[in-house]
Amino acid sequence: MTPPPREIRVVVIGGGQAGLATGFYLRRSGLVPGEDFVILDAAEQPGGAWASMWPTLRTFSPTQYSSLPGWMMPPWTGDSGYPLAAHVVDYLTQYEKRYELDVRRSAAVDSVSREGERLAVRSAAGDWLVERVVSATGTWSRPFVPTYPGSFAGLQLHTASYRDASAFAGQRVLIVGGGNSAAQILAEVSAVADTTWVTLRPPQFLPDDVDGRALFEIATSRHRARQLGEPDTGGVSGLGDIVMVESVRKARDRGVLQARESFARLVEHGVRWRDGTESPYDVIIWCTGFRPALGHLAPLGLRGADGTIPTDGTHAIKEPRLHLIGYGDWTGPASATLIGAGRTARDLVADL
């Protein structure tokens, strides 16, 4: 017999950086982990998306500007001021222990639906009836690959599946995408393979002395200006998109940060360019981003035409019992970053 749903005040869906930051502020507000709120996470291990990222990925800011509320990330003593992914995983693992957050693992949420005055959360860890749901599932589980005409017979992989450049030694590799992931992967792969970089528009590089802290402050200022009805400053778009971490700077010095415009179609052994010429490739790496993982919220019928859920800050406009955090600026300024998640979680819990 299926056990009846458990009743609890708040369920947080997702145990990555945004979910943990929310848990911190829920606990600080007086709610008791396990009694008043739980965090349901689909993964078997701590660390959120960082646990699935390639080992050489670095944060965009030093540790003092890449921390969650309450406890600063321990200093990084490696070869750069920017920590590797494993350092972040260790920090997030210790963070949830430090604050004794009740994170239920292997607890993927299947659906959230309305049930009277409450929301029903159905998960691999059981069913819950709750007053509020905080969705913090992020985007990593929904990699996006654009559609092109034609087909390619070689290896294709997305950023989410990339692990190490050595697998591509001596091969011809096409890297598609104009963001930080593309630049960091290009920097690595170009050291061992013949690479071509394709972007929809010319890549925009940030000044060498601008990192994640500055980007967060700019995004926050833009958000405040828009709330006050002041002219839109354009945010970080005027500065650029790509943070010049050490590996990317070295790639620039080697002259490999040269991008060309997108191709017209895929062909069996490569791509056809817009001028009709073709180039052969063994591998295509799609560094083309992710989409919000919102499938569990489908029964609520909230998603707009752009694929997101309309919000006022983190609050779902058409469902007052639902909050969202960590999906991008539409759920709080820089809320998909470590420092941004903490500040957004503070406002979210205050709104609860």
SS3 188: helix
- Single-letter residue type at 250: K
Q: What single-letter DSSP state applies at residue 2?
A: P
Q: What angle do CA 351, 309, 116 make, to 5 degrees?
A: 65
Q: Which two tokens stand for residue 217?
A: 């402050």
- Whole-model pTM? 0.89
Instruction: Give the pLDDT score at 236.
Output: 44
Query: Average pLDDT of 266-271?
Result: 98
Which pLDDT belongs to residue 187? Answer: 96
If you average pLDDT over every residue of the chain, what do you get? 89
Mean pLDDT of 26-50: 96
**Structure tokens that stand for 237 in this block:** 């778009």
Q: Compute the distance between CA of residue 37 and CA of residue 207 in angstroms, rounded to an integer.
A: 43
d(CA 294, CA 71): 29
Q: Which residues pair with 234 in a beta bridge?
A: none
Find all residues with CB under 8 Å of 229, minimum gap 6, and list them: none
Alpha-carbon span 220 to 125, nearest angstrom: 37
CB neighbour class for 286 (10 Å; exposed up to 12, middle 13-18, buried from 19): buried
Q: What are phi and psi of 115, to 5 degrees?
A: -145, 90
Q: Kindly state the DSSP code that residue 251 receives in the 8-state scheme.
A: H
Q: Sorting pLDDT into bands at 50, 70 and 90, what band is 230? A: low
Contacts of 107 (CB under 8 A, 6+ apart): 40, 41, 42, 123, 124, 125
Q: Are 101 and 122 in contact (CB under 8 A)?
A: no
Q: What are phi and psi of 112, to 5 degrees?
A: -125, 125
Lowest mean pLDDT segment, chosen from 106-120, 229-243, 292-306: 229-243
More confident residue, 79 or 53: 53
> What phi and psi values does residue 104 have, to the nearest 5 degrees?
-90, 120
Give how far Cα 197 sits from Cα of 67, 161, 202, 269, Å: 32, 18, 11, 17
- For the chain, the maximum distance between any two Cα atoms, rounded to a whole number of angstroms, is 65
- Angle subtended at Cα 60 by Cα 238 and Cα 345, rounded to the nearest 5 degrees: 90
Task: Identify the H or E element spanning 122.
Answer: strand 118-123
Q: Determine the pLDDT at residue 245.
A: 82
Share of the chain above pLDDT 70, in %: 89
In a 3-state reduction of DSSP, which class is residue 253? helix
- E runs forming strands in the chain: 6-13, 37-40, 103-104, 109-115, 118-123, 126-135, 155-158, 172-176, 194-199, 259-261, 265-267, 270-272, 278-280, 283-286, 311-312, 315-316, 322-324
As a whole number, mean pLDDT of residues 83-100 equals 95
Residues 333 and 222 sit within 8 Å (Cβ to Cβ): yes
Stretch 187-215: mean pLDDT: 84
Q: Is the pLDDT of residue 175 over 60?
A: yes
- Amino acid identity of residue 227, one-letter, is Q
CA 330 – CA 328 distance, rounded (Å)? 5
